[in-house]
Amino acid sequence: MTTTSSDELNNMAAGPESRNAVTPPRETARYGGIDVFRHLLAVGVILLHLHSGARYSPALNHLMESIGSYCDGVVFGFFLIAGFFAKGQSTLSWSGTKSVFWKQFHRLLIPFFTFSLIYTFALVGLGKRTVASGLLATAVLHGASVQLYFLPFLFYVSIAFLFYTAVTSQYLKLSASMTLLLPFVGLLAFSEFHRTVESTGSDFLLLPLYATCYLAGHYLAIARKAKSLYFHVLCGALSLCFAIGSHWDPRLWKIAEIILLFWFFLSVSSLPFLHRRLPGSGGVYMLHAPLVIYGISSILAIAHVRDATNAALTLGLTYSICLVATLAFIRIFPKYAYLLLE
């Protein structure tokens, strides 16, 4: 992975989330630990997309799926980070609402449409997809590649959050934490009554749980601005509540893990060597699939590098190549860094 606008939200993603998909440049400079966390989340996304029935044995695919079950909450992390850096709207006006909408559209959906169309025609060239299916996936905001759904989902959540905070700040005389309590509880309850098998993916039934993580991140931001002790207590309380809830819903354990990791990486951001930006995770998220993973693993297979060695090298090389490409792109074309969620 915007401010109230999209800069913080969009810095995360891949920053998967969610620099935009995640952190505003001015904020990121002070939270190098969170940038490290984003990179780890991006590696987790690569791992989730690494399995292949054509190139790896059933035993290896099963092993990777088992490992993936421990890190398939990475998208929760992108939403949590986006919510942490989000700022609510204090006024409800046509001009302000329209401005925020188009900023979010520019930061989240322009990259979505750009890469969905690129991947559509690339996959058509490889014989992996038809033009019609790719254009349809793009038009319905699903995306021609598995990771792209995240951008429309973050767009929906961030716009709803901004509109809700604008309305409540104008008509309710309550603190931000109190006005967000109802949607937080409501979204969590809805997600419990409409559970999904997976903890990640483009299932719309996961959207309320993603939004819950977004709000949890915003609660942590409010707590951190209030008092340091309050922030640490809230981190512990939220992670404990979600961990207890995992007795009934395993997905909540993934959220507890994400909150604990976020807590840790935010805390170590105070270290001098992490008082800096560490960009690139957004580009890793956007670029890793479907072409880079497929290309690297196929080249390695041609070179007779197979199974576990192939998978390990594909994971490392995919991350490295995407990171280098991202850093080069944002250095050469800084004006268009947002296309890679930077």
Contacts of 198-202 with CB under 8 Å at 24 or more apart are 198/72, 199/72, 199/73, 199/76, 199/250, 199/251, 199/254, 200/48, 200/72, 200/73, 200/74, 200/75, 200/76, 201/149, 202/142, 202/143, 202/146, 202/149, 202/153
**Is 104 in contact with 6 (CB distance < 8 Å)?**
yes
Please name the residue that has the structure tokens 């299932």: 203
Sequence letter at residue 133: S
How long is the chain?
Answer: 342
pLDDT value, residue 130: 95
Q: What is the DSSP track for 38-85?
A: HHHHHHHHHHHT---TTTS-HHHHHHHHHHHTTTTTHHHHHHHHHHHH
pLDDT value, residue 216: 95
Sequence letter at residue 135: L
Q: What are phi and psi of 201, to 5 degrees?
A: 130, -175
Compute CA distances 138 → 79, 109, 135, 141, 287, whole Å: 22, 11, 5, 5, 17
d(CA 133, CA 149): 15
Average pLDDT, 10 consecutive residues per value, the chain (342 residues):
39 41 42 95 95 88 88 94 86 73 94 98 94 96 96 96 86 80 94 91 95 95 85 91 91 95 93 91 96 95 94 97 98 96 94
How many Cα atoms sit within 13 Å of 195 on the Cβ side? 8
pLDDT value, residue 29: 43
pLDDT value, residue 94: 64
pLDDT value, residue 178: 85
Please state, rounded to an integer, the average pLDDT across all residues of the chain: 88
Q: Could you tell me which of 201, 221, 179 has the C-alpha nearest to residue 87?
A: 221
pLDDT value, residue 225: 85
pLDDT value, residue 5: 37
CA 205, distance to chain mean position in Å, is 17
pLDDT value, residue 175: 77
